[in-house]
Chains A and B, each alone.
Chain A
Amino acid sequence: MNDVVISVEGLGKRYQIGHQRDPYGRLTESLWDALLKPLELVRGRRGGETSEWIWALRDVSFEVREGDVVGVIGRNGSGKTTLLKVLSRITEPTVGSAVLRGRVGSLLEVGTGFHQELTGRENVFMSGAVLGMRRAEIIRKFDEIVEFAGVEQFLDTPVKRYSSGMQVRLGFAVAAHLEPEILFIDEVLAVGDAEFQKKCLGKMSELGQGGRTILFVSHSMPAMLRLCERAILLDHGQVVTSGPSHAVVRAYLESDLGTTSERRWDDPSTAPGDEVARLRSVRVTSARGGRADEVDIREAIDIEVEYWSAGLDNLRPTVNLAAYNDEDTCIFTVIDQANENFKNIPRRPCMIRSTARIPGQFLAEGRVTVNVAVVTYNPFIGHAVELDAVAFHVVDRTEGDGVRGEYAGPWPGVVRPMLEWNIEWAPDA
């Protein structure tokens, strides 16, 4: 057993929210407060009660042993980034403590310390120094960093003239050459093109194998599974579960914390909805049957929405689906009024199942997230709304019969429809 190098005990961080004032106070207000507070004390009122506090982290305890690569997962706002910020000493905890044994490096963004006016060469030094590298160390690794980033020709150009992709590559290259014993990484892989992401993942697993202890926050489950042996699941600032990463990832995906291809609300009291309509389930299924977390790009899929309707005369519920890709671009929005049967929906309380078929050879590769809503129009009211209700992965196996033919390289486009082509030519002239 290796030594424990990170031990976190009862860590908590409280933030003030819901302020009606400016995000940062103005001096006059504080002066007024100072003047009024004694008065309020006399009046028997306590100051500070008007503001709300939330615990971004609460009672978080765990241990990490030397050489472990541990993933931290949880949906947005679950406290992952706050945890890294506290451990990186960027902000102080409200309660609890943590002990880190070893040189600590943290990567909370790509290109930390870059200055737009400085050249690429100068920024390698600047960023390296900010991230905790010694000057001699930067000099020793300089060529390697530049080569990794692939920006040799632009070394003496100010980075403000770099494309955003080049800046990201250079920033990551510096970070990837840090040699701390404990490394905190936050979502840095969410940037850059697919090719470069792969290179970064490779570099990171190299780091992991080098005996370095890594705490890694990411949304990408595949990256998480590839890099981490252990994982910690956070929700509302608390540790829900921790253990081997595939078990934790599975727990995450199967709980309603993650988004998968199927959602059910067995208890109507917690299901999204109101007295007009209430969701019961949303499912993505392959047209051939069965749940579909992963969908072949050539295959049609069905999105099936089951909901309860009060069947009121004047309010005709309509299912509304909005599909988003990885970049949060809306791919399409559809409603089920397109179906003839919509007019015949009974005007009495009943369960309704409404299914939309998405044809094969239409969506592009990648993760698709679907917002589901049951709404009524004129006036527009959203009765049962569930953002990120279901999600699935579209996979292109590139077997020659798809839109991209035999070509396996990058293929841009929000959708990838198989269009009908007509090719003509004149008799040889």
Chain B
Amino acid sequence: MIAPPRGATAERPAVVEIRARRPWLSLDLPELWSYRELGYFLVWRDIKVRYKQTVFGAAWAVIQPFLLMVVFSLFLGRISGIAPEGVPYPLFAFAGLVPWTLFSQSLVGSSNSLVAASNLIQKVYFPRLLLPIAAIGACVLDFGIAMVVLVLMMVYFGVSPSPAILWLVPLTALAIVAALAVGVLLSALNVQYRDIRYAVPFLIQLWLFASPVAYSADLVPPEWRTIYELNPMAGVLEGFRWALLGQGEPPPLGVIGVAAAATVVVFVLGLAYFRRVERTFADVI
């Protein structure tokens, strides 16, 4: 009698069926969940490797948004009406740049995640969706560091937060999901078309101008507002500033709602495409 290998009985009964076609829209979340440890390891690796052989190390998480804030303040800060009255422009800009950096870095990371792991994809099986998701982990850590600096700036400018600050949690989640929604789509496209790698930085530049990062959304002409708000980051950024710096105004629920809805639509489309082409990643990459 041969003893079964350890872990065999306690684990899932593990019958794997391999066949030509999977149903289109099966997400198989239980499988994704069962690979969560690998997900943690991928995030851990990214964090470990991220700032190796750099002089400034994790300070880079702050340097980028901080310098952008300085530049914005020098060149745009004196334009009247760019930010609402009563809020110091540097704080206004930084409160936008911190979530924006989270979004843009996550988007870059997840769109490149599959191609960057091409060797793994060709040599071992795991749910491929893990890669664009895990790519965001390190960006969230950077975001946490930048948030600390944002809080210090609020103290410096004497702005005290209201209970609305709790809104930051769902808003941050929305920014992450929005980045993931686009990132999942672009990462799968990137496997087939390496054009994506060149298009993403450009896309992010355009997106920066199309989002209320350096300026207030109030500057957008009312007839363009509806289209403007389809950009999920419009809702996220408006919400962030309201939660951190708002002085008692009602929450911009409309913008946030539109942002969430737009995100869900993009996410579903992205996942559908990802699932469809996933089976040939190893052959094409």
Contact = CB atoms under 8 A, between A and B. Distances in A.
A348 interface: no
Interface string B33-55: 00001100100010011001100
B123 A112 contact: yes
A274 B123 CA distance: 43
Contacts of B280: 91-92
Given A112-B120, A134-B37, A179-B5, A92 B193 contact: no
Given A27-B193, A179-B5, A130 B20 contact: no
Nearest to B11: A103
A129 B38 contact: yes
Given A113-B124, A134-B37, A30 B193 contact: yes
Contacts of A87: 18
Contact of A90 (B48, B52, B122, B194): B122
A88 B124 contact: yes
A100 B195 CA distance: 38
Given A24-B192, A25-B193, A126 B5 contact: no
Interface stretch (A114-122, A265-273, A290-298, A416-424): A114-122
Contact of B18 (A67, A97, A102): A97
A26 B124 contact: no
Interface of B: 2-8, 11, 14-20, 37-38, 41, 45, 48-49, 52-53, 120-126, 191-195, 279-280, 282-285
23 contacts: A15-B283, A24-B192, A24-B284, A26-B195, A27-B193, A67-B2, A89-B16, A90-B124, A90-B282, A91-B282, A93-B18, A98-B19, A104-B16, A106-B124, A108-B123, A112-B123, A113-B124, A115-B49, A117-B49, A117-B52, A117-B53, A122-B45, A211-B5
A404 interface: no
B145 to A, nearest CB: 21
A106 to B, nearest CB: 6
| Binding site secondary structure of chain B | mixed
Given A210-B2, A212-B5, A109 B123 contact: yes
A134 B34 CA distance: 11
A130 B120 contact: yes
B20 A97 contact: yes
Interface centre among A67, A96, A122, A129, by most B CB within 10 Å? Answer: A129
Contacts of A100: 15-18
Given A25-B192, A96-B19, A179-B5, A102 B124 contact: no
A361 B14 CA distance: 56
List of 10 A-B pairs having minimum Cβ-Cβ separation, nearest first: A211-B2, A92-B279, A129-B41, A89-B125, A97-B19, A98-B18, A91-B282, A100-B16, A27-B193, A27-B195
A137 interface: yes
Nearest to A131: B124
Contacts of A93: 18-20
A180 interface: yes
Q: How large is the interface on A (under 10, 10 to 19, 20 to 34, 35 or more residues)?
A: 35 or more
A67 B4 CA distance: 10
B196 to A, nearest CB: 8
B20 A94 contact: yes
Contacts of A134: 7, 37
B275 to A, nearest CB: 12
B2 A103 contact: no
Interface string A217-236: 00000000000000000000
A210 B284 CA distance: 37
Given A24-B285, A129-B38, A131-B124, 20 more contacts: A27-B195, A30-B193, A67-B2, A90-B125, A91-B282, A91-B283, A98-B17, A99-B17, A99-B18, A101-B16, A103-B14, A109-B123, A112-B120, A115-B49, A122-B45, A125-B41, A135-B37, A179-B5, A210-B2, A210-B5
Contacts of A117: 48-49, 52-53
Contacts of B284: 24
A366 to B, nearest CB: 28
B18 A115 contact: no
A122 B3 CA distance: 31
Interface of A: 15, 24-28, 30, 67, 85-104, 106, 108-109, 112-113, 115, 117-118, 122, 125-126, 129-131, 134-135, 137, 179-181, 210-212
A27 B194 CA distance: 8
- A90, A112, A115 interface centre (most CB from chain B within 10 Å): A90
Contacts of B192: 24-25
A162 B115 CA distance: 25
B7 A103 contact: yes
A118 B49 contact: yes
A102 B282 contact: no
Nearest to A87: B18
Contacts of B191: 24
Nearest to A92: B279
Contacts of B5: 103, 179-181, 210-212
Nearest to B278: A92
Contacts of B4: 181, 211
B48 A122 contact: yes
Best-surrounded residue of A67, A106, A113 (most CB of chain B within 10 A): A113
A101 B121 CA distance: 23
Contacts of B41: 125-126, 129-130, 135
Contacts of B283: 15, 91
A124 to B, nearest CB: 11
A129 B37 contact: yes
A88 B45 contact: no
B123 A89 contact: no
Contacts of A103: 5, 7-8, 11, 14
Contact of B124 (A96, A98, A112, A115): A112
A96 B120 CA distance: 25
Contact of A85 (B16, B282, B285): B282
Contacts of A126: 41, 45
A132 B270 CA distance: 27
B38 A130 contact: yes
B198 to A, nearest CB: 10
B217 to A, nearest CB: 32
